[in-house]
């Protein structure tokens, strides 16, 4: 594992620095929007611009990579992302910020595609799961670190935006200096949304609303915190806790989903998230008198931080749960295609998330942020209960829970250790079906080049028979 990480240092450093910049920029613009007296609805619109760009980029980037290669695409779009950060600080108005977020969305998803397809090219059956885990950790810890950088300067100054631009530019350097050749890009098989819904109604339904939830939560949590009178330091800590708790929550939830009916875990996770979102309201303020506790005793803030962290620990693993549940109903050969379809549905839901949540904040006040999350999580839970009544549990031994970033692309889904089908898998299957020793040599002689390897096969047969 250390060897593979070392070989992939340029990719990991590049995407890690980029995630630091992304984490800083996303929350910085949310806080700044409050300071500029933008309406919450306006903030929701330009925050959705990122997810529109993400959706567009995920459809167009594979063609770019096929034509000009990984390195050129990464360099071009990282440069565009750096430029968009400068545009945001020069032109402080909702329209230009929507354009900035749109360009950032296209740029980042393009870099995701490059990084994930490159990593997948280097992966083997033995290390692909470890590479995926390392990649996920870098993604989320980079985001968390970026949120802490909010404390380096006042959000109303221009320096934080300059820092974002500098970080995005730095992310280019390791990729451009790598000596390892870029792989040939291969396009991923797809499944239509209609077919995907027929295969797994709950997985499809839940993925859409998971996109709504994730986009709303991470786009507007900084807006909520600023309006609730949290200090800049407290806001950054809250964001850091939410991100890290979401990563840690993948471990126990993944374990239980592999032991029990995955639909039950989705239902319990969804209703649990609704309850914790309600507790977030109760620990933040008195909803009757609309009196906020954020400027009072630190103890009450700590309780609120813990509740939000617990909420995130249940909320963030939802996409991985949806993916594992859907894979329970598809053959192994379609895991990547199904995952790509779910990612597409997730992206469509994410576009609407910030806008819809901002409407709730306009209708119900600041509490509307968590009211919206309560309702959407409850929708997933209720639909999950319905699906449990009309469909029996199906066990697919090829499907297991794999923690993945919600932003993962189909190229990254190939890093799932459950993903077929390599020569190693074929040989393992062949051996598992009561393969006799002498037959193994025949198999190898068919796979390998006969004229060059026959002597080696003979030696292998001799060793095999002695064991």
What CATH number does the domain containing 348 carry?
1.20.1250.20
Q: Tell me, yes or no, whether 183 lies in a domain.
A: no
Give yes or no: residues 207 and 248 share one domain.
Answer: yes
Give yes or no: residues 218 and 348 share one domain.
Answer: yes
Nearest CA among 334, 210, 323 for reference residue 258: 323
Give yes or no: residues 289 and 399 share one domain.
Answer: yes
Q: Tell me, yes or no, whether 383 lies in a domain.
A: yes
Q: How many helices (H) and strands (E) does the chain have?
A: 21, 2
Nearest CA among 31, 45, 55, 169 for reference residue 105: 55
Sign of the CA dihedral 89, 93, 96, 97? Answer: positive
Per-residue model confidence (pLDDT) at position 182: 67
How far is CA 88 from each of CA 29, 94, 109, 320, 326, rounded to the nearest angstrom?
A: 9, 9, 19, 33, 39
Domain residues for 137?
1-178
Q: Tell me, yes or no, whether 184 lies in a domain.
A: no
The one-digit pLDDT tens for each residue of the chain (467 residues) are 456 556 677 788 889 999 999 999 999 999 999 999 999 999 999 999 999 999 998 888 888 888 888 888 888 999 999 999 999 999 999 999 999 999 999 999 988 988 888 887 777 767 777 788 888 889 999 999 999 999 988 888 899 999 999 999 999 888 887 766 666 666 666 778 888 898 889 999 999 999 999 999 999 999 999 998 888 999 999 999 999 999 999 889 988 888 888 899 999 999 999 999 999 998 887 655 555 555 555 677 888 999 999 999 999 999 989 888 888 888 777 778 888 888 889 999 999 999 999 999 999 988 999 999 999 999 999 999 999 888 777 666 667 788 888 888 877 777 777 676 444 444 444 444 444 444 444 444 443 444 434 444 444 344 444 43
Give yes or no: residues 407 and 447 share one domain.
Answer: no
Q: Which two tokens stand for residue 142?
A: 């980079």
Distance in angstroms (rounded) separating the CA atoms of residues 57 and 105: 7
Give yes or no: residues 344 and 414 share one domain.
Answer: yes
Contacting residues for 169 by C-beta, under 8 A, at least 6 apart: 78, 79, 82
Give yes or no: residues 402 and 439 share one domain.
Answer: no
Residue where a domain stops, chosen among 157, 178, 199: 178
**Helix intervals (H) in 228-317:** 232-248, 250-259, 262-284, 298-315
Q: Tell me, yes or no, whether 364 lies in a domain.
A: yes
Q: Tell me, yes or no, whether 289 lies in a domain.
A: yes
Let me know: does 61 contact 73? Beta carbons within 8 Å.
Answer: yes
Contacting residues for 438 by C-beta, under 8 A, at least 6 apart: 461
Residue where a domain stops, chosen among 421, 439, 456: 421
Q: Tell me, yes or no, whether 391 lies in a domain.
A: yes
Q: Tell me, yes or no, whether 137 lies in a domain.
A: yes
Give yes or no: residues 141 and 235 share one domain.
Answer: no
279-285: Cβ within 8 A, 24+ apart: 279/307, 280/304, 280/307, 280/308, 280/311, 280/370, 281/367, 281/370, 281/371, 283/307, 284/228, 285/228, 285/366, 285/367
Q: Tell me, yes or no, whether 185 lies in a domain.
A: no
Give yes or no: residues 51 and 125 share one domain.
Answer: yes
Nearest CA among 232, 97, 88, 96 for reference residue 164: 88
Give yes or no: residues 260 and 315 share one domain.
Answer: yes
Beta bridge mates, 285: 292
Phi, psi angle pair for 286, to nearest 5°? -95, 105
Per-residue model confidence (pLDDT) at position 435: 44
Residue where a domain stops, chosen among 178, 200, 220: 178
Dihedral class, residue 37 (left if φ above 0, else alpha if ψ from -120 to 50, else beta): left
Give yes or no: residues 91 and 124 share one domain.
Answer: yes
Give yes or no: residues 243 and 98 share one domain.
Answer: no
Per-residue model confidence (pLDDT) at position 327: 84
Q: How many independent structural domains does the chain possess? A: 3
Give yes or no: residues 205 and 153 share one domain.
Answer: no
Q: Is 120 helix (H, G, I), strand (E, B) or coil?
A: helix
Q: Looking at residue 292, what DSSP letter applies?
A: E
Let me know: does 224 contact 367? Beta carbons within 8 Å.
Answer: no
């Amino acid at each position: 594992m250390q060897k593979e990480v070392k070989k992939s240092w340029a990719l990991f450093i590049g995407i890690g620095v980029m995630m630091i910049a992304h984490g800083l920029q996303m929350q910085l613009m949310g806080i700044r929007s409050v300071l500029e007296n933008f309406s919450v609805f306006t903030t929701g619109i330009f925050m959705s611009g990122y997810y529109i760009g993400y959706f567009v980029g995920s459809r167009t980037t594979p063609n770019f990579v096929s034509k000009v290669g990984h390195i050129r695409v990464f360099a071009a779009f990282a440069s565009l992302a750096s430029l968009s950060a400068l545009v945001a600080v020069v032109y402080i108005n909702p329209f230009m910020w929507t354009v900035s977020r749109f360009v950032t969305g296209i740029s980042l998803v393009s870099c995701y595609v490059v990084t994930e397809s490159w990593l997948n090219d280097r992966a083997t059956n033995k290390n692909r799961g470890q590479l995926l885990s390392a990649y996920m950790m870098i993604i989320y810890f980079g985001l968390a670190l970026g949120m802490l950088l909010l404390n380096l300067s006042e959000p109303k100054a221009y320096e934080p935006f300059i820092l974002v631009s500098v970080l995005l530019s730095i992310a280019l350097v390791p990729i451009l200096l790598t000596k390892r050749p870029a792989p040939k890009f291969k396009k991923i098989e797809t499944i239509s949304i209609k077919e995907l819904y027929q295969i797994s109604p709950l997985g499809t339904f839940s993925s859409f609303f998971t996109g709504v939830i994730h986009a709303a939560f991470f786009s507007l949590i900084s807006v909520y915190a600023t309006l609730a009178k949290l200090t800049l330091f407290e806001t950054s800590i809250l964001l850091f806790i939410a991100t890290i708790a979401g990563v840690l929550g993948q471990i126990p939830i993944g374990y239980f989903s592999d032991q029990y009916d995955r639909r039950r875990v989705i239902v319990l996770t969804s209703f649990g998230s609704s309850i914790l979102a309600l507790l977030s309201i109760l620990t933040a303020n008195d909803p009757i008198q609309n009196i906020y506790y954020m400027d009072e005793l630190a103890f009450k803030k700590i309780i609120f931080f813990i509740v939000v962290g617990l909420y995130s620990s249940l909320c963030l693993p939802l996409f991985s749960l949806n993916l594992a549940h859907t894979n329970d109903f598809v053959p192994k050969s379609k895991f990547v295609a199904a995952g790509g379809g779910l990612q597409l549905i997730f992206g469509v839901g994410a576009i609407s998330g910030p806008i819809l949540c901002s409407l709730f904040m306009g209708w119900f006040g600041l509490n509307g942020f968590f009211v919206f999350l309560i309702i959407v999580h409850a929708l997933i839970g209720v639909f999950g209960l319905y699906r449990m009544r009309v469909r029996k549990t199906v066990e697919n031994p090829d499907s297991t829970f794999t923690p993945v970033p919600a932003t993962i692309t189909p190229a990254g889904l190939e890093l799932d250790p459950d993903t077929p089908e390599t020569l190693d898998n074929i040989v393992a299957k062949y051996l598992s079906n009561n393969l006799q020793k002498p037959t193994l040599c025949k198999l190898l002689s068919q796979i390998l080049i006969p004229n060059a390897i026959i002597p080696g096969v003979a030696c292998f047969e001799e060793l095999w028979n002695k064991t």
